[in-house]
Amino acid sequence: MRKWTARLTGCALALMASGVLGASLLDAYQAARQNDPTFRAARYEREAGQYNYDVGLAGLLPNFSIAGSYSKTTGDRSSTVVNLTQQLDYHYTYTTVALRQPLFNYESFVRYQQGGVQVAYSDAVFDRKAAEMAVKLSAAYFDALLAIDKLALADAEITAYGAQRQLAERRRKGGEGTVTEVAETDARLQLARANRADALDGVAVAMRKLEGMTGMPMGELWILRPDYLPNGVQPSQLDEWNTLAQDNNPEIRAQRKAYEMASLEVNRNRAGHLPQVDFVARNIRTENQTVDTLNQKINTNSVGIELNIPLFAGGRVNALTGQAVANRERALAELDATVDNVLVEVKRQFMAVETGGHKVRAYQKAVESSEVATEGTKRGMAAGIRTNTDVLDAERQMFVAKRDLAQARYQLLVSTLQLKTAAGVLSEKDIVEIAGLLLPRP
C-alpha cells in the first residue's frame, strides 16, 4: 500500500509540476492533499502537536545553566587631615555553572504523561480532518460530475423539444396540428434553454470549488461507469458498524484522549502537595575587590540533594484540584455526547446507503421505462391516439428520471464514504476503489 501511495503521489506531483492536473478522482485527491488550505492547516496542527512529547520529556531531563555578571565601581577617597586623594576603582566578576537533575517531581512526570496523550490527541484530530477532506473532495468531484450531467441533459432536452417543435410546426402546416401545440412545445423549449443557463452556471461554480481544493485547473473529469449498480457495503449489519465506530472513530478517540488529559490534570494539580527532590551540582567563581580588600578570588564547588516540601499555599492547590476534577467530569460528559452523536451519524449514513441503493435501482428502472414510454407515446401520436402534450410530458418525465438517477448514484457513493468516515475506517484504499468506478471520457 505504501508503494502504491508513493507512486500515486509521484504521478500527481509530476502532473502538477507540468501545470496541468489530471482529471481523475485520484489526481484530484492527491492534489488536494498537497494544496487544500484547510488540509495544510491540519498537517501543521498535527506537527505542532507532536512536539508536546518532547516538551513533557524535558521536565524529567537534566537542566544545565551558566550565569555570570560583571560590574565595575569607580570612586576616590580623600583625607581631611592631609591633602591626599586615593583612587578606589575596582571590579566584581561572578560566574556560576549549575546542573539540576530532578529525582522526584511528580508534577513533571504527569506533564510527561500528558505530552504523550496530547500527541495521540493530535493524531486523532488529524485522522478526522484527513477523512473529512477525502469526503469533501469526493463530494466536490461528484457535484461537478452531476453539474456536467445536468448540462448534458439540458442540451438533450433542448434538442428533443426543438425536434418536437419542428414536428408540431409541420403538423400545423399540414392541417393535422394546432397553433396551441406549437406554442406549448415552444414554451417547453424556452424553459429548457433557461434551465441550461442555470446548469452552465452550476458547472462553473462546481468546478471552481473543486479547483479551490486541488489548487490547480482541472482537466476533463472522468465519468461514472454507465453500468454501475450498487452492491451494498460490508459489513451489512448496523451493529457491526456501531462497533467499528466505537473502536475507530477519530472523534471518539480524540475525546477519549481529552478525558485522559483532564484526568492527568487532576493528578498534576494534586502534585502541589508533594515534595520535590533534585540533585544539584554547582561551581561558583567570584573575583572582586572592595574598599578594604583587593584581588580576592573565590572558587566554590557544591554537590548535594535539594528537598522542597510545600506546606501551605493559601488553598491554591485545593482550588486548582477541584477545578480540574470538574473539568474531568465535563470531559467525560462530552465523551458520552460524542459517542451518541457518532452512533446517530453512523445510523444516518447506514440508512442512506441502504435506501440509496434501492433508489438507484428504482431510478434505473424508471429511466428504462420512461424511455420506452416516450417512444411509445411518439408512435401513438403518429397513429393519432396520443397528443403533443402527452409526448412533451413523457419526454419531461424521462429527463427528470435521468437527472434523479445521476444524483442518486453520486449521492450513494458519497454516503458510502461518509459511513466509513463515521465508523473511522475510511482509508486511501476506499478512494482508490471508488476511483475505479470512473472512466476517462471517450
* Contacts of 122 by beta carbon, 8 Å cutoff, 6+ apart: 45, 46, 48, 49, 50, 52
For the chain, the structural domain boundaries read 2-60+105-273+316-439, 62-104+275-309
Q: What pLDDT shows up at residue 17?
A: 43
Each residue's pLDDT tens digit, 124-156? 999 999 999 999 999 999 999 999 999 999 999
Block residue for cell numbers 477519530: 250
| 2-60+105-273+316-439 carries CATH number 1.20.1600.10 | yes
Cell of 25: 478522482
The identity of residue 328, as a single letter, is R
User: What pLDDT is attached to residue 82?
Assistant: 63
What's the pLDDT at 291? 54
* Average pLDDT per 10 consecutive residues for the chain, totaling 442 residues: 39 43 83 92 94 93 92 72 67 89 93 95 95 94 94 91 83 77 86 92 94 88 88 88 94 96 94 93 82 72 93 89 95 96 96 93 93 90 82 89 94 95 93 91 78
User: What is the crossing angle of helices 179-214 and 388-423, to 10°?
Assistant: 20
Q: Which residue shows C-alpha cell 428520471?
A: 401
Q: What is the pLDDT of residues 329-348, one digit of tens each?
A: 999 999 999 999 999 999 99
In this structure, the strands spanning 438-439 and 296-308 are unpaired
Q: What is the 3-state secondary structure (H, E, C) of 88-133?
A: CCEEEEEEEEEEEEEEECHHHHHHHHHHHHHHHHHHHHHHHHHHHH
Given this model, what pLDDT does residue 13 score? 41
The amino acid present at 9, given as its one-letter code, is T
Return the pLDDT at 61. Answer: 94
